[in-house]
Amino acid sequence: MNGKKIPPYLLVIVGGTGDLARRKLLPAICRLREKNLSEFYLIGAGTGKKHNDLTYRDFVARSLEEEGVDIGAMGDSFDWLYYHSVGGGSVEEYKSLADRVAELEKKLNLSGNRVFYLAVPPSVFPNAIKNIGEVGLNKSAGEIKLVVEKPFGQDLQSARELNALVHKYFDESQIYRIDHYLGKETVQNLLAFRFSNAMFESLWNRDRIERVEITVAETVGVEHRAGYYDRVGALRDMIQNHLTQLLTLIAMEVPTALEADDVRHEKVKVLRAVSPISTDEVIFGQYTRGAVQGKEAASYTEEEGISKESHTETFVALKLNISNWRWQGVPFVLRTGKRLFKGITEVAITFRRPPVSIFRQFSIKDIQPNKLVMTLQPNEGFDLFFKVKEPGDSYKLSTQSLHFEYSEVFGRIPDAYETLLLDVLRGDQTLFVRADEVEASWELYTPLLSHSFDVYNYASGTWGPEEAEQLLDGEKWCTM
């Protein structure tokens, strides 16, 4: 984050009293205000009528305290916060919101710069987008921006329809499709790691790399998202967006510059180079009773709001093959699941073994390959594993590592939403997903949605179903 001042903006959070706003957006917005990078005001647009401006400010203060934000140290009166009810989301209620926006812009002497953030369930996106456009909120003398959370669509057809609707009212340059994983400092560092360190970029190809593993593991179950999660499952909820975004950053070619279009062009090229996914290389799982970090955990079908007959997957592992010059023949294995052994997000690069062993007592199989493990959360950093000889007369090899951890060097890492919101205000779309990228991703996974997969059980607190091991051709997962 640089210190360049940003013009004043009016932020409108549709869903201003919802869980996303309370837990993520409002704390991030308050931290940005502390940095004094921009003068901005906020309207929380909610469905209820119980709030007014004053009670909404109290609601925000309580929410911040619950999220561990020291509001006393901030010394903030929250007089920059306003509330407006959009009730059931009718056109008339959005006309009322438009009147409130115009009133505040005049009162606060704002130039018409607006950000509309849709912090609502995906089912509400079309209605909110249509109403914002129909009442003219998408037009002013200033800059207008629309922020949409993932998932963007439920399959290829719905993603195309949603893109068409958004483009009816907004230009692509105004649209910020958020995948919060891209806002994590450690995810952005994947680009710096690759393209500023020639020693690694020169190894980043099929000649030197044997396989790539991407793991996003969670210890939690479905929690408060049961109704939503049971309709979508892990493939839609995690693979199509979070893990695929990590895939594109790992596999992309060197962009011409670190600019939005240059980076996004290369990400789309990766997606278009992925071969059709074989259904034989996809494993679905669902968690059963077990213990996670010493605490007993219920099975998925015992969770509140989940049908006893549900076959929704809570675990997915699959293998992708990228058919281009750099990656032909290198498997990318993606894995995600709930109620797993520990919560971690890692990218593990396994390099090829030496072509022959000069150590007579060791076969090639005995020499473990070098590995680069990039941990994106928690304990963000990386480890490079290599072989050394142990002291002594006999020739015994030992695996050691070079270790780096962000917090030890840089202290607190900004939250992903801080980074992304600041980029929205600055107009930098590098970390946001473009329309063709969304559709290219859904093209990969939509054929799997109509296939009937076996859903294997796995005990909570494990690393998922044993059947997932077959994707590694006899090797072991790096993250265990």
| Ramachandran sector of residue 89 (left: φ over 0; alpha: ψ -120 to 50; beta: rest) | left
Residue 404, amino acid? F
The whole-angstrom separation of Cα 421 and Cα 369 is 41
Q: What is the DSSP letter of 278?
A: P
The whole-angstrom separation of Cα 255 and Cα 253 is 6
The whole-angstrom separation of Cα 261 and Cα 255 is 9
DSSP β-bridge partners for residue 207: none
- Nearest to residue 442, comparing CAs of 267, 213, 179, 235? 235
How many CB atoms are closer than 10 A to CB 265? 17
The whole-angstrom separation of Cα 215 and Cα 234 is 13
Residue with token string 């207008």: 144
Whether 167 is catalytic is no
Q: Structure tokens of 47? A: 């469905």
- Tell me the three state secondary structure of residue 394: coil
Residue with token string 């939005």: 260
- Cβ atoms of 96 and 71 within 8 Å: the answer is no
Q: Structure tokens of 466? A: 């044993």
- Nearest to residue 45, comparing CAs of 140, 117, 143? 117
Parallel/antiparallel/unpaired status of strands 331-337 and 209-217: parallel
The whole-angstrom separation of Cα 162 and Cα 128 is 12
Give helix then strand counts, H and E, for the chain: 15, 17
- Cβ atoms of 321 and 275 within 8 Å: the answer is yes
Q: Structure tokens of 25? A: 């957006």
- Cβ atoms of 267 and 249 within 8 Å: the answer is yes
Residue 314, amino acid? T
- Tell me the three state secondary structure of residue 365: helix
Q: Which of 84, 167, 242, 265 is catalytic?
A: 242
Residues 220-236 as b/e (b if ≥16 CB within 10 A, e otherwise) read ebbeeebeebbebbbbb
Q: Which residues are catalytic?
A: 242
